[in-house]
């Protein structure tokens, strides 16, 4: 009998090339969840949010503002291609929802959205700064 040190990671690694091919051909075809990446920018006049949503139709996106919260939600639908055999899927699919708290310096009534080439761009204009500072005389 030979003692071999046990490594629990070995249970997760393929032991043969055949196991590797099998995992590639079978497990990698399942759709994974989708959560769009968001880039946030700030200029002197507004914030910009860029949601990366490749391949989505504009009609699948919903933008909602409620109680100083901006929510972007939608669904990236998986369309089956019956003519071809899928070998590997790295794209995510499914419903998603991203929520952001809006600060008081954002003019919510003038928020704009544009969708082009897989990027949803939201422009959140800043309120004009009002100087409420004043000197109060003491009697």
- Let me know if residue 106 belongs to a domain: yes
Alpha-carbon torsion (13, 14, 15, 17), positive or negative: negative
Task: Find the CATH number of the domain harbouring 42.
Answer: 2.60.40.790
- Assess if residue 53 is contained within a domain: yes
Instruction: Report the residue count for the chain.
Output: 139
SS3 16: coil
Domain range spanning residue 71? Answer: 31-77+90-128
In this prediction, residue 51 carries a pLDDT of: 96
* Predicted confidence pLDDT, tens digits, the chain (139 residues): 444 555 566 555 555 555 555 555 555 555 568 899 999 999 999 999 999 999 899 999 999 999 999 999 999 888 777 888 878 778 888 899 999 999 989 999 999 999 999 999 999 999 887 667 788 889 8
For residue 72, report the phi and psi dihedrals to the nearest 5 degrees. -115, 125
14 lies in a domain?
no
| Residue 72 confidence (pLDDT) | 96
Distances (CA, A) of 37 to 12, 33, 47, 81, 121: 29, 13, 16, 26, 12
Q: Is residue 116 one of the residues assigned to a domain?
A: yes
Domain count, the chain: 1
pLDDT of residue 55: 86
pLDDT of residue 83: 85
Q: Does a structural domain hold residue 10? A: no
Does residue 113 lie within any of the structural domains?
yes
């Amino acid at each position: 009998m030979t003692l071999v040190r046990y490594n629990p990671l070995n249970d997760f690694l393929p032991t043969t090339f055949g196991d590797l091919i099998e995992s590639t051909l079978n497990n990698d075809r399942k759709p994974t969840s989708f959560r769009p990446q968001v880039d946030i920018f700030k200029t002197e006049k507004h914030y910009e949010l860029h949601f990366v949503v490749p391949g989505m139709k504009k009609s699948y996106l919903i933008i909602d503002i409620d109680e100083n919260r901006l929510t972007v939600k939608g669904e990236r639908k998986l369309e089956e291609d019956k003519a071809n055999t899928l070998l590997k899927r790295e794209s995510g699919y499914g419903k998603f929802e991203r929520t952001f708290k809006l600060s008081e310096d954002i003019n919510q009534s003038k928020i704009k959205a544009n969708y082009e080439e897989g990027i949803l761009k939201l422009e959140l204009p800043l309120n004009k700064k009002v100087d409420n500072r004043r000197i109060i005389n003491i009697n």
